[in-house]
Homo-oligomer: A and B are copies of this chain.
Amino acid sequence: MESQSQYIGSNSGMDGVDQKEGKVANQRKAGTCESILRILAFMLTLTAAVVLGVSKQTEIVSVKILPTLPPIDVPATAKWHYLSAFVYFVVANAIACAYAAFSLVLLFANRGTKSSLGLVIIFLDQLMVALLFSCNGAAAAIGLMGYQGNSHVQWNKVCNVFGRFCNHAAAAIVLSLLASLVFMYLVGLAALGLHRRSK
């Protein structure tokens, strides 16, 4: 009877060790997945900021100075810092890119601990979601206006002239949108982890 109880005791102890090892392995797997997502967010925001930041297109456009004179051809350039929405877009993506790199450091500092640092990371991730979605909205609204124009406010489309610049802007917006979805997924993943632990 005594030996049986000893056996049961040792078996349950083994189970406890197995469970603990399984938990540690799961946490390690989740940490690796999170690191990969943060590296992805870093690359996406960096590429988005660079694609729009370095894009520049110069075209010759006809400008009518006086109604009685024929139009004259002048060179016009499209650059990101001519439009405040694009300035906000590049700056926001640069901030998110710097944060993605910094959050990797925070993640390693928080590994294996149950400190409040995890909560700080969730709040900052959430802030990045807000920042990136607002800059995507701003850039997309101006981009769409440049692509379609609007007769009600008499803003003519400009993408028929600066097509390459508009394509670069569209690509940058898609990249930034993907990055904001990654940050959103990270917040969701962290909430899921906390929910599982709280059960």
Q: How many copies of the chain does the oligomer comprise?
A: 2
- B-chain residues with CB within 8 Å of residue A134 when the two chains form the complex: 133-134, 136-137, 140
Q: Which of chain A's residues 121-155 have a Cβ closer than 8 Å to chain B?
A: 122-123, 126, 129-131, 133-142, 144-146, 148, 150, 152-155
Given A130-B184, A145-B145, residue A152 in contact with residue B83 (CB < 8 A): yes
- B-chain residues with CB within 8 Å of residue A139 when the two chains form the complex: 137, 141
Contact string, A24-38, partner B, CB cutoff 8 A, digits 1/0?
A: 000000000000000
The answer for the CA separation of A174 and B75 in the assembled complex, in Å, is 39
Q: Are A126 and B123 within 8 A (Cβ)?
A: no
The minimal Cβ–Cβ distance linking A24 to chain B, given in whole angstroms, is 16
Give the interface residue-count category, chain A: 35 or more
Please pick, from B122, B126, B184, B198, the residue contacting A197 in the complex, using a CB distance under 8 A. B198
Q: Are A150 and B119 within 8 A (Cβ)?
A: no
The answer for the CA separation of A68 and B84 in the assembled complex, in Å, is 36
- B-chain residues with CB within 8 Å of residue A114 when the two chains form the complex: 198-199
Please pick, from B141, B142, B192, the residue contacting A119 in the complex, using a CB distance under 8 A. B192
The minimal Cβ–Cβ distance linking A23 to chain B, given in whole angstroms, is 13
Could you list 18 examples of A-B contacts with CB < 8 Å? A76-B152, A84-B148, A88-B137, A116-B195, A119-B191, A119-B192, A119-B195, A126-B126, A126-B187, A126-B188, A129-B130, A135-B137, A136-B137, A153-B158, A155-B155, A190-B191, A191-B191, A197-B198
